[in-house]
Homo-oligomer: A and B are copies of this chain.
Amino acid sequence: MGTVVALAGQVGGAKLADGLYRLRRESLTVIVNTGDDHQHAGLPMSPDIDTLLYTLAGLASAEAGWEPANETRSASAMLRALGGPDRPIVGDRSLAAPILRLDGMRNDRSLTEITRQFARHLGIEARILPMSDDPVTSHVTTSDGVMRFHDYFYELGCEPRLKAFEYVGASDARVSDEARDALLAADLEAVVICPANPYHVIRPILAVSGMQELIRERRAPAIAVSPIIGGQALKGSAPKMMRDLGHEASARAIALEYYKLIDGFVLDRADATLAEGIAASGLRVRVCQTIMRSIGDREALASEVLDLAREIREAREVDEGEEGGA
């Protein structure tokens, strides 16, 4: 067994990362989107990083996986009363990481260092790494103008018609040494694109300067898992965004999105009829249950993903063997 790198964000992405973590523990590295990072009352919010931390630490709420279980909402009312922001309503437990993150940053510690220290304290053996220590901010061009994705999402409820995404800062952002090392590891077994919104979770990661090149140099198969099931995202607004951007809201469109970067694709049984068409494009396809309702579902999907990667590696070895013998 080698090492695994997952690209992740959002609750679905965190759940698959958790499945991989349960199978591979310290051999897992998760590279996490920071394009949705924003300030809340001056605190540096990193929603995807914190979702990953809570999920892998087993602290995440079952109903609202982006925050810790048993969340309370006392501070937000007082913030509002004192003239602070009225929304989003951030839970009390959810304020702890941003408070300590700000303290770390003001003491010149990198986001990577701060995140790894959180993970250590939470007893997480996997490496959870921000996609970059440099700031990247997802912006959208919409029918109402250009705005930060965060505002589009929280202020406007994704209402305006989307025209384009831009990842401001990405071309100047550097992949951290830790993320680079994980992607270049000699014993890399798979790169997994977890099920998450392609536009504001996965693309920002891929937009970091040098990230795609590093993934292309990989010595292991890359597998994407579709976040779209039967034309719907389990949660979230991906289908609406896909249609706004002129795509079909389908697992097929997701496969196309990652086509140049991946070797294998995992889609849900509900989309089994799409498998043949996607396989015809040259990707190795796995159809299985991708909805993760239980912890067991997370492990089962992770297992399918790693098995597909093994299958691709073995097929390559056969090919190489045949070539060698030819």
Contact = CB atoms under 8 A, between A and B. Distances in A.
Interface string A97-137: 10110110010000000000110111000000000000000
A171 interface: no
A212 interface: no
A81 B121 CA distance: 6
A120 B83 CA distance: 9
Interface residues of A, number: 35
A42 B101 CA distance: 10
B103 A78 contact: no
A118 B82 CA distance: 5
Nearest to A102: B42
Nearest to A78: B96
Contacts of A70: 74
Contact of A121 (B82, B91, B106): B82
Contacts of A83: 100, 117-118, 120-121
A121 B83 CA distance: 6
A106 B43 CA distance: 11
Interface in A37-60: 41-43, 59
A303 to B, nearest CB: 29
Contact of A41 (B41, B93, B94, B99): B99
Nearest to A106: B42
A236 interface: no
A270 interface: no
6 contacts: A42-B102, A71-B74, A74-B92, A74-B93, A78-B96, A81-B96
